[in-house]
Amino acid sequence: MPPWGCCPAAAVLGRLGIDSTGPKSRDRAARTSTTRRVPSPLAPAAVVADFLPLMPTPISRVPFHWHSFDLRAELPAGWQIAILDVAENRARARTLVPTSVTSRESSADMEIAALTVGGKTVASELPWLYGLYCNRLRELAQEISPEPLSAAVDVRYAINLNVQRGRAMRYECHVDSNPIQGLLYVTDHPPGSGGELVVSNLGDVAGVEEVDRDATRIHPVAGYLVLFDARHHTHYVAGVERDDALRVVAAMNFYTPSCPESSRPTDLNDHLFGTG
């Protein structure tokens, strides 16, 4: 008779090289044999549990993922200079106090310097970019959405320019309210130069320190469109490392039937752009 006896389940475990004869029998076996038990990938939970003390402690994390499209070959000639010109000349300074329902700073008392070009200005000064947002970029975003995707009807927050100049600025910790966010990077920020998008792999957490604890970092490349759903991943934009550095990105909102434009928090426009 094989060492696992006549029990069918024991026979299966025996053929997998797993001793299922119970603690007393295992103790006897340990005293009489030098054969080492090897955990099998097919081992049942009760056997795997024997090895849990040897395994890394499971942690709860939801690694962030995103999609990226290289649009450098199809953007119109002079696209970068045109956007930078609007960013340099039309950006409005704001001091963000992180009290919005989407804010995730560790304190609501801090103030964060920001520069933005609102959607109305983008649509009037860069009509080709607004057209791309409504058509080609929306089509690309549609490829990652199982639901029909819509551009925003309200031009104020359809597509904006977020601008950072020098080391004093960063973009606040927050979660998105829209289901698909698009970012067309206008400037390059390779690793080590700052300006990266930092996204928590732990989900909806509060504060830069908590995001940094386990984060995905996306380093902007001019001409790349990045698309993602960050409604449940706190994120911020790191400051650039040089006082003469300029970071510009075109940020765009898309919506779906299950998360429509009408669900946008009512305080966001005033929070990000001020009244008017």
* Interface stretch with Fe ion, choices 118-126, 173-181, 194-202, 257-265 (CB under 5 A): 173-181
Nearer of residues 79 and 157 to Fe ion, judged by Cβ = 157
Q: Of these, 176, 196, 229, 261, which contacts Fe ion (CB under 5 A)?
A: 176
What residue type is 219 in one-letter code? H
Nearest approach, Cβ of residue 227 and Fe ion (Å): 12
Nearer of residues 4 and 236 to Fe ion, judged by Cβ = 236
Nearest approach, Cβ of residue 218 and Fe ion (Å): 12
d(C-alpha 132, C-alpha 202), whole Å: 33
Whether residue 148 contacts residue 258, with contact meaning beta carbons closer than 8 Å, is answered with: no
Tell me the C-alpha to C-alpha distance, in Å, between residue 108 and each of 79, 105, 199.
Answer: 37, 7, 20
Nearest approach, Cβ of residue 252 and Fe ion (Å): 11
Nearest approach, Cβ of residue 217 and Fe ion (Å): 15
d(C-alpha 139, C-alpha 150), whole Å: 9
Alpha carbon distance, N-terminus to C-terminus of the chain: 86
* Interface stretch with Fe ion, choices 39-47, 172-180, 182-190, 209-217 (CB under 5 A): 172-180
Nearer of residues 75 and 198 to Fe ion, judged by Cβ = 198
* Interface stretch with Fe ion, choices 132-140, 154-162, 176-184, 252-260 (CB under 5 A): 176-184
* Interface stretch with Fe ion, choices 3-11, 54-62, 109-117, 168-176 (CB under 5 A): 168-176
Encode burial over 26-55: b for 16+ CB neighbours within 10 A, e otherwise. Answer: eeeeeeeeeeeeeeeeebeeebeeeeeeee
* Interface stretch with Fe ion, choices 10-18, 63-71, 147-155, 169-177 (CB under 5 A): 169-177
Nearest approach, Cβ of residue 129 and Fe ion (Å): 19
DSSP structural state of residue 40: -
Nearer of residues 21 and 234 to Fe ion, judged by Cβ = 234
Strand 180-185 and strand 67-70: the pairing is unpaired
Nearest approach, Cβ of residue 235 and Fe ion (Å): 6
Closest CA to 121 of 162, 93, 156, 85: 156
Nearer of residues 176 and 229 to Fe ion, judged by Cβ = 176
Nearer of residues 180 and 222 to Fe ion, judged by Cβ = 180
Residue 66 burial (CB < 10 Å; 0-12/13-18/19+)? middle
Closest CA to 212 of 196, 224, 226, 225: 196
| Chain contacts with Fe ion (rule: CB under 5 A) | 176
